[in-house]
Structure 1
Amino acid sequence: MSYLTKFLSSSLLLSLLFISTKAANFEIRNNCPYTVWAAASPGGGRRLDRGQTWNLNVPAGTAMARIWGRTNCNFDASGQGRCQTGDCTGGLVCRGWGVPPNTLAEYALNQFGNLDFYDISLVDGFNIPIEFSPTSGGGSGKCQALLCTADINGQCPNQLRAPGGCNNPCTVFKTNEYCCTNGQGSCGPTTFSRFFKDRCPTSYSYPQDDPSSTFTCPGGTNYRVVVLPSGISSFPPGDGWSQERRVGS
């Protein structure tokens, strides 16, 4: 192998190593006129009042990750308490996944082809509207802003209604028809999944809703997750998201 070939090979390896080890930044923002308690796995949790943001750095290679908002929470001075939707381990700082119903921003970084995979999922139901979008390295094609801002809670079918949110049918009925527990190809769209899909076309409406719900950006892209009021397609700069009631306050 020539010196030049060795040099180029070494440079390529170093470049790939740099790409694969660069952390992604997630700007989590509350754009609603009420308090939301942001949660992230990995990452923990934080109270976000209107207009506040939380910047989260996530290592390259992280998979099966999610960000969501919790609502109507009560935490004491030690950070212990419960939330009406999205509750996780009974604390402000999450150490697991949230309890449905909760709208999810899901992602896996630097996967096949050094691509990030991301989506908005309603497979755990819906509690608050969100936007999930790249802030660098994308903006078109399969690397684009995703929105789920319909009034799903207000229009939720009676069978799926829950305090503060709208359940996915899998949570309620727990059958293969809705949960796809028997593997790939064992289930398909249903009347309930179409309710979600019609209102949020780019979001997962049932577990095998992949073709129209999974998006990719180049590895190293940064992202923004914004909680939004229902029924809007964009958010004005400077507004925010969140709401908390502390025990004893």
Structure 2
Amino acid sequence: MKLQVTSIFILMLSTSYAHEFRLRNNCPFPVWPGLLGNPGKETPLNGGFQLNLWETKVFHVGYGWGGRIWPRRDCDGNGHCLSGDCGNKIQCDGTGNPPASLAEFTLDGWGNQDYYDVSLVDGYNLPIKINPIPGTFRKVSDSYFDCNSAGCYRDLNEICPNELAIWHNGWKIACKSACLAFNTDQYCCRGAYGTPQTCKSSNWPYNYPAIFKQACPDAYSYAYDDTTSTFTCHGNPETGYEIVFCP
């Protein structure tokens, strides 16, 4: 009986600390979100599904969840997508293939604080925005990064340099990061360039990350772009998040 009571208590605790997520598609075409939990964390909704124009999908994750969500576009009936592909599967069971815009979350950290950001470190394919859901959070400071919207709202494909672009039928459909395109230690912030002090524009042959940063100042443009890209929020009692494609 004692084991049964303990199990019920754990179930109630995990349920009461569920975060609501809302995925909304504002693009003028279907989007196939990909989802992946961090190591040891669940992957919601079997990792992927189709989200039609103006459609919203709601799901919940447990206390302490962490993971990433990204848009895939132009997927066919076999599950192959022209950007953000998951190895020809609609339901991703691993990481998607860059380039793709990423929404990243680490929930319920020290002091019950959430961390979230939009990252272009792996490149870009669609505009994306993260909104804390009103009524589910509390601000603890006047900081710009406290419970505000994070995202990249511009179509970076329009300004993507040709050497970074992914093309399809004469159109740019995604934009690689410099790391993905050139695979050098400088752009990938590794080896001798693997610290915030050495991974910087003065060591890059060309400042490609600045193209992303100028267009989307609230999004990560390279690995150590933390100070102007990481947002935090405290729950009331637990924060919910809306992720909008083509906001």
- Give your verdict on TM over 0.5: yes
Partner of residue 57, structure 1 = 60
DSSP 3-state at the match of 1:48: coil
Aligned residue number for residue 223 of structure 1: 241
Q: Which runs of 5+ in 1 are unaligned?
A: 1-13, 229-234, 236-249
For residues 123-154 of structure 1, what are the alpha-carbon distances to aligned partners after superposition, in whole Å with 9 as ceiling and x for unaligned? 01000001111002047732101231112101
- Find the aligned partners of 1:188 and 1:113 in 2 and give their Cα distance: 31
The structure 2 residue matched to 1:179, chosen from 171, 177, 188, is: 188
Q: Is the 8 A contact 1:89 1:95 kept in 2?
A: no
Mapped to 1, the partners of 2:161 and 2:130 lie a distance apart of 25
Q: Distance in 2 between matches of 1:130 and 1:111?
A: 24
- CA distances 1:27-56 after superposition (whole Å, capped 9, x unpaired): 001011111111111221110111111112
The one-letter code matched in structure 1 to 2:208 is F
Task: Provide the alpha-carbon RMSD of the alignment.
Answer: 2.1
Question: For 1:193-212, what aligned pairs fall within 5 Å after superposition?
Answer: 193-212=209-228
Ranked by relative contact order (alpha carbons within 8 Å, sequence separation 6 or more), the top structure is 1
Task: Supply the distance in 2 between the matched residues of 1:148 and 1:60 (Cα, whole angstroms).
Answer: 27
CA contact (8 A) 1:102 1:124 kept: yes
* Unaligned 5+ runs, structure 2: 1-8, 37-42, 168-172
Which of 27, 33, 40 is equivalent to 2:28? 33
Structure 1 CA distance for aligned equivalents of residues 102 and 138 of structure 2: 21
For residues 144-183 of structure 1, the aligned pairs below 5 Å read 144-163=148-167, 164-182=173-191, 183=194
1:16-36 CA-partner distances (Å, limit 9, x unpaired): x95997121110010111111
For residues 181-235 of structure 1, give each alpha carbon's deviation from its aligned partner in whole angstroms, at most 9, with x where no partner exists.
133223113510100000000100001100111111114100000011xxxxxx5
- Identical-pair percentage: 40
- The residue aligned with 2:170 is none
Q: How many residues align?
A: 209
TM-score, normalisation: structure 1: 0.78
